[in-house]
């Protein structure tokens, strides 16, 4: 007699309390092979894939799609194989050690990895596509087998589906590849107007129609919401803004990038910001501190290390939202190393997902919306930090410049920086002095090279 093995909802981060099966790619009685993706699991950090590493048969699916369940809840019963389980992807070693539980002597036969591909329902043929791309395709009747993916390893992502939909409205769809038995096709809903894709949106809209609906929160959105409410309701925020002349920095950046281009290095304005903010902490240590202790026993903890967190926006196919990647010991790293680490972490965050270590222990955070054309905004402090810097775009403006003792009106680049601070730790004068130091470094950027 075959005894089914049980797979429970794994814990993939130290803050994860619940997980959600976004999509099952298997059903009871289905035989699967090693490497097949059987489910997409959403955690409080990202969306992961549940992947088998041995052959067997699905006995029972114990959790419905879209149903959040606590860590440790039985989600699937399995028959066949030799047992054994492993967790891969963005979980830390500590999380991985506790990720898979079993309610019988036999353990599960699956791995978790970052989204890369998905089963199309046939174990002999698989389509590599993100969960969001599959959802849009299902809603609009697009056959994913007709698409070529532009994502990592040829994965089909949202923009591939949207581009196909957009092109289909103005041309006759190409014939599907010949097969021994034609695959069933879904027909998109008829509408007098062509479907339109809204840039930056996860949804395909038809002109002239709006749909009232309630969108359930993802685990990541729920975690972000809880942390932001906690921050705004427990930390007394206030903001201080300064304007920075950016012409010297932009000129130096261009010169360095021209020289470093053969080496594949391209510095961003944000790289200079990270270094300036980190170096300024040595003159203003209270900005690099945190509020600690229980009520009645509170204290200010000054830190002896500078870890700058960089806010990274995630694409819709990764659940959207923000994560903060940490540049550790940023005050001791040069521009090239800061640039390399930031690009590597941003790419990993948007593809595989970051580990707990890569997102933890920041002492100060930078949120930069300048690349979106935003000139000014305020940000909410990322606990347990004492401050966060909101950075806008460097825009051309009329500015007064003194030449040979005379004031002249010229066109220059100016960037606004707004720091939100914890008033329990940093008062207005301290915030102004810190920003003045950062401003001076950015306006005389050669100081950031030594």
Q: Which residues are tagged catalytic?
A: 423
Strand locations in 270-404, DSSP E? 289-292, 299-302, 308-313, 322-327, 364-368, 387-391, 395-403
Q: Is residue 315 a contact partner of residue 158, using CB atoms and an 8 Å limit? A: yes
Beta-sheet pairing, 237-245 with 387-391: unpaired
Mention every residue, 6+ apart, whose C-beta is less than 8 A from residue 136: 142, 158, 161, 162, 202, 203, 204
Q: Is residue 193 a contact partner of residue 153, using CB atoms and an 8 Å limit? A: no
Beta-sheet pairing, 308-313 with 322-327: antiparallel
Strand, coil or helix: what is 136? helix
- Residue 139 burial by Cβ neighbours in a 10 Å radius (0-12, 13-18, 19+): middle
Strand, coil or helix: what is 112? strand
For residue 264, the 8-state DSSP code is T
Q: Is residue 218 a contact partner of residue 40, using CB atoms and an 8 Å limit? A: no
Strand, coil or helix: what is 57? strand
Rounded Cα–Cα distance for residues 108 and 77 (Å): 8
* SS percent in the chain: helix, strand, coil, step 5: 30, 25, 45
Strand, coil or helix: what is 56? strand
Rounded Cα–Cα distance for residues 74 and 111 (Å): 16
């Amino acid at each position: 007699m075959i005894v089914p093995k049980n797979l429970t909802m794994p814990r993939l981060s130290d803050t994860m309390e619940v997980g959600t099966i976004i999509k099952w790619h298997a059903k009871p009685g289905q035989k699967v092979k090693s490497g097949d993706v059987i489910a997409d699991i959403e955690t409080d950090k990202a969306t992961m894939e549940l992947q088998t590493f041995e052959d067997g048969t699905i006995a029972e699916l114990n959790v419905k799609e879209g149903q959040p369940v606590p860590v440790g809840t039985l989600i699937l019963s399995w028959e066949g194989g030799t047992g054994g389980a492993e967790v891969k992807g963005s979980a830390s070693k500590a999380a991985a050690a506790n990720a898979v539980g079993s309610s019988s002597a036999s353990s599960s036969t699956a791995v978790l990895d970052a989204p890369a591909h998905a089963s199309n329902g046939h174990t002999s043929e698989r389509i590599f596509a993100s969960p969001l791309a599959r959802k849009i395709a299902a809603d609009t009747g697009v056959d994913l087998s007709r698409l070529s993916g532009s994502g990592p390893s040829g994965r089909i992502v949202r923009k591939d589906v949207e581009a196909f939909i957009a092109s289909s409205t103005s041309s006759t769809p190409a014939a599907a590849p010949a097969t021994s038995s034609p695959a069933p096709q879904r027909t998109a809903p008829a509408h007098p107007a062509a479907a339109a894709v809204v840039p930056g949106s996860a949804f395909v809209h038809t002109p002239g129609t709006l749909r009232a609906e309630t969108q359930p929160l993802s685990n990541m959105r729920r975690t972000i919401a809880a942390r932001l409410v906690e921050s705004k309701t427990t930390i007394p925020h206030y903001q201080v803004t300064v304007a920075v002349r950016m012409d010297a920095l932009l000129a130096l950046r261009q010169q360095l990038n021209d020289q470093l281009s053969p080496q594949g290095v391209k510095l961003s304005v944000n790289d200079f910001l990270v270094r300036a903010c980190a170096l300024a902490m040595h003159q203003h240590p209270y900005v690099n501190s945190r509020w600690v202790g229980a009520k009645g026993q509170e204290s200010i903890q000054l830190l002896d290390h500078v870890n700058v967190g960089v806010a990274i926006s995630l694409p819709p196919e990764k659940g959207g939202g923000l994560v903060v990647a940490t540049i550790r010991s940023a005050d001791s790293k040069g521009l090239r190393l800061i640039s390399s680490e930031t690009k590597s972490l941003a790419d990993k965050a948007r593809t595989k997902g970051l580990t707990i270590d890569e997102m933890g222990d920041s002492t100060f955070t930078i949120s930069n919306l300048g690349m979106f054309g935003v000139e000014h905004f305020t940000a909410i402090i990322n606990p347990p930090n004492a401050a966060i810097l909101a950075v806008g775009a460097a825009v051309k403006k009329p500015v007064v410049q003194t030449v040979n003792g005379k004031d002249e009106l010229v066109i220059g680049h100016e960037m606004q920086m707004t720091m939100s601070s914890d008033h329990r730790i940093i008062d207005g004068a301290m915030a102004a002095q810190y920003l003045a130091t950062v401003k001076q470094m950015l306006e005389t950027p050669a100081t950031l090279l030594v």
